[in-house]
Each structure stands twice: as C-alpha cells, then as structure tokens.
C-alpha cells in the first residue's frame, strides 16, 4: 500500500517517499496532524498527484522491418534487430520484446 511509502519528519514536517509508488496510484489524499507540547493540534490534508515518470509509450524506430533468410537455416545472418527509442518512455533495462501475432505456423 502506498501509505507505507510515505514518511513525515516529526520535527520539520518534511514529507518523504521511503519506497516506490505503485504504478496504479495516481492521486492520494493524506490527512496530517501537528501537535504542540500542550496537546493542542491542527489537521490538514495533503493532496498528492503522482505523475508518470515516463508518460510516453515506447516507439519502434521503424513501422516495418524487412529481412531475408535462406531456407533450411535456423537464424538470420546477420541477425535482425528491431529498435525502440527509449529517450522519453522508459528505462532501457525494463523494456521487453515479444511476438504477438504471426502468419507463421511454428517458429
């Protein structure tokens, strides 16, 4: 839960994240309380809007990639490499590729 990722310094009132924010969390409202030495207190609400760190989806550098393979061979020579621009979308080490549809019966 996100609330476990939120920490408030009880002396300064500074609010920190002490862990990652779940990716499905977009808006959080937290009630805060400040109490003086005499037991008097006041409350306030902290409204947090979580922005996506990488708001754009990854984009392939090309819409179509062409390759030719000699029959009865099990790999492309040279290898076919598809590329995705990651400058504004995601961390490269969290990017994965998969085949989702094909007109080939078995690969």
pLDDT in tens, 84-104: 876 666 665 677 888 777 676
Residues 23/35, Cβ–Cβ less than 8 Å = no
Residue 54 maps to a domain:
no
- Cα(46)–Cα(54) distance, integer angstroms: 24
26 falls within a domain: yes
What value does the CA radius of gyration of the chain take, rounded to a whole number of Å? 25
How far apart are the C-alpha atoms of 49 and 89, rounded to whole Å? 19
pLDDT above 80 for 20? no
Does the residue 64 lie in any domain?
no
Return the percentage of the chain with pLDDT > 90, whole number: 16
Q: What kind and span of H or E run contains 33?
A: strand 27-35
CA distance 22 to 6: 12
Domain count, the chain: 1
Please report whether residue 9 resides in a domain: yes
d(CA 46, CA 78): 56
- What's the confidence (pLDDT) of residue 33? 92
**Chain-centre distance for alpha carbon 73:** 39
What pTM does this model have? 0.48
pLDDT tens figures, 25-51: 778 888 999 999 999 999 999 988 877
Facing residues of 42 across strands?
Answer: 34
Determine the structural domain holding residue 15 and report its residue range: 2-49
């Amino acid at each position: 839960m996100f609330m476990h990722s939120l920490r408030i310094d009880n002396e300064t009132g500074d609010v920190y994240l002490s862990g990652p924010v779940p990716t499905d969390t977009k808006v959080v409202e937290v009630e805060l309380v400040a109490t003086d030495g005499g037991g008097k207190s006041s409350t306030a609400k902290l409204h947090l809007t979580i922005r996506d760190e990488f708001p754009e989806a990854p984009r392939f550098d090309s819409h179509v990639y062409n390759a030719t393979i000699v029959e009865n061979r099990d790999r492309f020579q040279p290898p076919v490499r598809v590329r995705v621009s990651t400058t504004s979308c995601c961390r490269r080490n969290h990017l994965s590729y998969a085949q989702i549809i094909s007109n080939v019966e078995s690969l």
